[in-house]
Amino acid sequence: MTAAALAGRDARRAGRRRLLPELTGWGFVLPATVVIVGLSLFPAAWALLLSLRDGDLLTGGDYVGLQNYRDLLGDADLRAAAGHTLVYTVLFVPGSVILGLGLALALNLKIRLIGFYRTCFFVPYVVSAAATGILANFVFDPDFGIVNAGLKALGLPAMGFLQDPDQAMLTLVLISLWGGVGMPAVVYLAALQDIPRELTEAARVDGGAQRHVLRHVVLPQLRPATVFLLIWQTITALQLFDLVYTTTKGQPLDSTTVIVFYLYRQAFQLFHSGYGAAIAYVLFAVTLAVSGLTLWRGTK
At 101-155, the pLDDT tens digits run: 988 888 888 878 788 888 888 888 888 778 888 888 888 888 888 888 888 888 8
How high is the pLDDT of residue 192?
A: 85
Determine which of 124-128, 174-178, 229-233, 270-274 has the lowest per-residue pLDDT on average. 124-128
Nearest to 45 by CA among 288, 282, 281, 267: 281
CA distance 106 to 189: 9
Confidence of residue 91 (pLDDT cuts 50, 70, 90): very high
Burial call 33-53: b when 16+ CB within 10 Å, e when fewer? eeeeeeeeeeeeeebeebbbb
Q: CA dihedral in degrees (185, 249, 246, 119; nearest 10)?
A: 10
Whole-model pTM: value is 0.84
Residue type, 159: M
How high is the pLDDT of residue 207?
A: 62
Residues paired with residue 63 on neighbouring β-strands, in sequence order: 53
Q: Could you give the count of Cα atoms lying within 13 Å of 107 in the half-sphere of its Cβ?
A: 25
Nearest to 66 by CA among 56, 78, 54: 54
What integer best gives the mean pLDDT of the chain? 83
pLDDT exceeds cutoff 60 at 11: no
CA distance 242 to 179: 13
More confident call, 2 vs 86: 86
pLDDT exceeds cutoff 90 at 95: yes
At 161-192, the pLDDT tens digits run: 888 899 999 999 999 998 888 899 999 988 88
Please, what is the end-to-end C-alpha distance for the chain in angstroms? Answer: 67
The distance from CA 172 to its chain's CA centroid, rounded to whole angstroms, is 15
CA distance 17 to 9: 12
